[in-house]
A = this chain, B = another copy of it.
Amino acid sequence: MLPIDAFDQYFVSRLSENIAELIDLVKQPSVSAQNFGLEACAMLVYQMFVRRGFTVELIKTPGAPVVIAEKKGRSDKTLLFYNHYDVQPAEPLELWQTPPFDPVLRDDVLYGRGVSDDKGHFVNRLFALDAFMDLEGELPCNVKFVLEGEEEVGSPNLPAFMEKYHHRIKADACIWEFGDVDHRGAPLQELGVRGLLYVELAVTTANQDVHSGMGGSIFPNAAWRLVWALNSLKTPDERVRIPGFYDAVRSPSQKDAALMETLPDIADEYQTRYGIKGFIKGLRGGKELRIAEVLEPSATICGLTAGYQGPGSKTIVPARACAKMDFRLVPDQNPQEILLKLRKHLDAEGFDDVEIVSHGMIPPARTDSDHPFVRMVVDAARDVYPLPMVITPSTGGSGPNYLFVRYLDLPIVCMGFGHPGAQIHSPNENLRLDLYRKSAMHLVRLMKIFAG
């Protein structure tokens, strides 16, 4: 085996070649929300694996195909990568400084839709594998990939795929689609995701809006019904009133709390960046804010719509009112159960006129911070980054991690080159070459330790 320096050199000398491959992939738009370019992009991914001698298969789903690929390595350990080849819509196009699907390199930063989320992370992982093949002639361990094309629309076909194909992607550990450094440059390890229940609550009281001079005092008003129904869900002190909502919540363990204690205080950063006057629930910062942010469940109104919303005044009783809401859930809350409890609560409170449409359910998932694989990832980062890896028990966001935990029973970690200014999901999404190289350096170190 070659010394690690040879790999670090490789990531300098072969960088432009690898980035050229990424640029080709980004040039093929693959916007799942617009069902645009997905099959063509899946074929590109397929060919990238074929070129590298992987066993690869393109598996049809009712939506975009899933690509699975594998290649044997020296040890009998198997590492699984979860990535996705679809991207967010590029709109609003006018805010891009260069075309989203024609990547441009400026001052060692590559700009384009998907250069970070998630095509860049996929190609970065191939970069590390290429280094092993080119320098050592083999992979240190078995490697499997699963790439879906619908991550950005909530992975609607991944549950059925996992149910049917999970035996094809069995592994000892999984590296998730992304990873980040924080605003100080310290790599982050987020060992879980919150669950999500996304619903639309809708009330219809009439077949048309009615003049408020006539209906104001006697007609049911969809907007009032919605306001009262929403009010019944959470009190102004932020306590969710749905009976049983908190039943399954596991309080943060001592270990979780200890991990949160190691994080920098984020209160000032949030207040300045988002122009907020303070936090809810009497939070002021420190560990408590960090814990509340990601380890407690939430009930969020994401949108409200009813009646007249233009300038000035229009005097109507709205016939229809809707709210979009998400519930972020923590172990061991179950989105399906929360949905049933929500329905039951609304009925019990007299709001059986409020319809519920579900727009998605994802259970929470976690990886134990004491898992040996997590320690390997932290150790592997040590001589790559200026600061040690920061471990948190969970991110506040959500993703289909639970499927991998449920079917494959393996640890899931984050590794990558995301950074606070990467603009993922936004115009001018970008990739910093320095962090891109570090990410590949981190991965080869991890694979060497993991392979044993």
Assess whether A224 is in contact with B234, with CB atoms less than 8 Å apart: yes
Q: Which residue of B lies closest to A224 (CB)?
A: B301
Report the nearest B residue to A295, measured CB to CB: B217
* CB neighbours of A307 from chain B (8 A): 301-304, 324
Closest beta carbon of chain B to A211's beta carbon, Å: 7
Instruction: Determine whether the beta carbon of A274 is less than 8 Å from that of B208.
Output: yes
Asked if A392 is an interface residue, CB under 8 A from chain B, the answer is: no
| Closest beta carbon of chain B to A265's beta carbon, Å | 13
Partner of A279, one of B220, B292, B293: B220
Q: Quick one: which of A209-230 are within 8 Å of B by CB?
A: 210-221, 223-224, 226-228, 230
Contact of A396 among B33, B214, B279, B293 (CB under 8 A): B214
Distance between Cα atoms of A312 and B326 in the complex (Å): 12
Given known A210-B274, A279-B218, contact A303–B292 (CB-CB < 8 A) = no
Taking a contact as CB atoms under 8 Å apart, the answer to whether B234 and A293 are in contact is: no
Query: Cα distance A175–B221 when bound, in Å?
Result: 34
Which of A63-71, A315-323, A340-348 lies at the interface with chain B? Answer: A315-323
Q: Which residue of B lies closest to A193 (CB)?
A: B213
CB closest chain-B residue, reference A278 = B220
A93 within 8 A of B: no
Does residue A205 face the partner (Cβ distance < 8 Å to B)? yes
- Is B207 within 8 A of A275, CB to CB? yes
Q: Which residue on chain B has the smallest CB distance to residue A225?
A: B236
Flag if B292 contacts A217 (CB, 8 Å). Answer: yes
Number of residues on chain A facing chain B (CB within 8 A): 79
Q: Which residue of B lies closest to A219 (CB)?
A: B276
Interface centre among A208, A226, A300, A324 (most CB of B within 10 A): A300
Known contacts A217-B292, A292-B218: does B228 contact A231 (CB below 8 Å)?
A: yes
In the complex, A314→B89 CA distance in Å? Answer: 13
Chain A 329-353 near chain B by CB (<8 Å), digits 1 or 0? 0000000000000000000001000
- How many copies of the chain does the oligomer comprise? 2
Contact A306 B303 (CB under 8 A): yes
Residue among A33, A304, A350, A398 with most chain B CB within 10 A: A304
Does A189 belong to the interface (CB within 8 Å)? no
Name the B residues within 8 Å of A328 (CB-CB). Answer: 212-213, 216-217
Task: Tell me the nearest residue of chain B to A196, going by C-beta.
Answer: B315
Contact of A303 among B289, B301, B309 (CB under 8 A): B309
CB distance from A143 to the nearest CB of B (A): 29
The answer to whether A218 and B303 have CB atoms under 8 Å apart is no
Tell me whether B326 and A276 are in contact (CB under 8 A). Answer: no
Query: Would you call A20 an interface residue if the criterion is a C-beta within 8 Å of the partner chain's C-beta atoms?
Result: no
Identify whether the interface residues of A are mostly helix, strand, loop, or mixed: mixed
Which residues of chain B are near A211, meaning CB under 8 Å?
Answer: 397
Within the complex, the shortest CB–CB distance from A52 to chain B, in Å, comes to 34
Query: How far apart sit A153 and B323, CA to CA, in the bound complex (Å)?
Result: 30
Mark A367-400 against chain B: 1 for CB-CB distance below 8 A, else 0. 0000000000000000000000000000111100
Q: Say whether A280 faces chain B, with CB atoms less than 8 Å apart.
A: yes
Contact with B along A262-282 (1 / 0, CB 8 A): 000000001000111111110
Smallest Cβ distance from A225 to chain B, in angstroms? 8
State whether the Cβ of A313 lies closer than 8 Å to any Cβ in chain B. Answer: yes
Min C-beta distance of A240 to chain B, whole Å = 11
A383 to B212, CA, bound (A): 34
A206 within 8 Å of B by Cβ?
Answer: yes
Chain B neighbourhood of A168, CB < 8 A: none
The answer, yes or no, to whether A407 is at the interface (CB within 8 Å) is no
A409 proximal to B (CB < 8 A): no
- The answer on a CB contact under 8 Å between B228 and A236 is yes
Q: Is the CB of A315 within 8 A of B304?
A: no
Identify the 10 closest CB pairs spanning chains A and B, nearest first.
A213-B397, A207-B275, A216-B298, A303-B307, A223-B301, A231-B231, A303-B308, A304-B306, A217-B298, A213-B396
22 CB contacts below 8 A, A to B, read A205-B276, A206-B276, A208-B274, A212-B326, A216-B396, A217-B298, A217-B396, A218-B270, A219-B270, A219-B279, A223-B303, A224-B234, A231-B231, A236-B350, A301-B307, A302-B307, A302-B313, A302-B317, A304-B318, A308-B324, A309-B324, A313-B359
